Amino acid sequence: MIHTLVIVAGISVTLKNYSLFGNHMQSSDLISEMITYQGADDLKIAAYMARPKTQERRPAVIVIHEIWGLVDHIKDVANRFAREGYVALAPDLYSESKELSSVLTAENIRSAWSFMQTLPVNKRADMNFVHTELAKQAVEKRAVIEKVMAVLFAGGLPRDRLLKHLVKAVDYLNSSPFVLQGKIGSVGFCFGGGMSINLACNAETSACIIYYGENPNPIDLIQNIRCPVLGIYGGEDDRINSNLDKLVAAFIKYKKTDFEIKVYPGAPHAFFNDTNRTTYREEAAKDAWRRTLEFFSRTLTN
C-alpha cells in the first residue's frame, strides 16, 4: 500500500509499549559514553552512544543532529531510544575537522542559536531580515555569529563528506558485537532530517525517519532507497513543506510503496525540540514520538 500525504488533526496520544524489553529501561540500565569511529577519508568522528547493558545484540538507530550540532537535546533523544532497547549512535558530524570544529564550538553555536531565537519564526529563513537584525548586535558578538552562520547557512558545510561519515556509521554499527547486523535505522531533525533521507539513498539501512528535513537533491536519488520511510513535518513549516509534493511524487514514480508522511497542523519547524520554547509543540511532539517508536518497532524488530 502506498501511503500519501496525511494531515494529522485532533491528535489523541496513546503511548503504547514499543520497548524491546517489554518495559522502559532506567538510566541505570544503560551505557552512555562519547566514542569515536572511523569516518570517511580516515577521519575520526566523535559520537555519543547510548545502549542497554546487555550482551544481546540489539537493533540500532543513528540519531542525526540539527544544524546546531550534537547538543544535549540530541543526546537526550539518543537516551530515549536506548531506554526503549535500541543501540543509539549520535555522530558529531562537526568533529570531522579542525576547520569545522574550531568555528562550530559549543559556545559559538549557542551564541548563534540564541540570536536566532530572538527572531520571529517566520523570518528566520529571510536572510535579508537576519542580517539587518544581526547588524544591531555588538561588534564582537556579531563577528562570532557571522562566522558560525557562514558555515551553517551559506554553503560552508561539506555535506557530501558529512554524508559519507554517516555511511561509515552504518558500517561501524554493523561490525559492533552488540548490534543486530542489518537492523539499522536512521532518524534526523532539521538538517539531520535531510541527512537521514540522504543516508537511506546511499547506504543499506532498514528504516528512515525524517523530521522536517530537506529532500534529496536531485530528487531522483529516491530511486536508490530500499527501506521504509516515515516523514514528519510541521504544518507551519512553509519552506520545507513547499517541496513535499515532489517527495511524494518521487516515491510514487519509483514505486517505493512503504512510505508515510505526517503533517501536524499549526506546528512550526523544530516542533519536536523540547528545549526550544518558541517552536516546541507538546501534543504534536508526543504523537510524533509514538509514531517513531511504532515505525522502528515494525521495521527494526520484526
Which amino acids are annotated catalytic? 190, 237, 269
What lies within 8 Å, CB to CB, of 239 at 6+ separation is: 125, 269
Q: Please provide the size of the chain in residues.
A: 302
Q: Look at the alpha carbons of 87, 40, 222, 226 in this order and tell me if their dihedral is positive or negative.
A: negative
Q: Are 196 and 215 in contact (CB under 8 A)?
A: no
The amino acid present at 59, given as its one-letter code, is P
Hey, CA dihedral for 105, 171, 22, 287, is it positive or negative? Answer: positive
Cβ–Cβ contacts within 10 Å for residue 168, how many?
19
C-alpha cell at 131: 542580517
**How many whole angstroms separate alpha carbon 190 and alpha carbon 75?**
16
Axis-axis angle for helices 191-202, 159-174 (nearest 10): 60
Closest CA to 146 of 122, 159, 160, 127: 127
Measured between alpha carbons, how far is 28 from 12 in angstroms, rounded to an integer?
A: 31
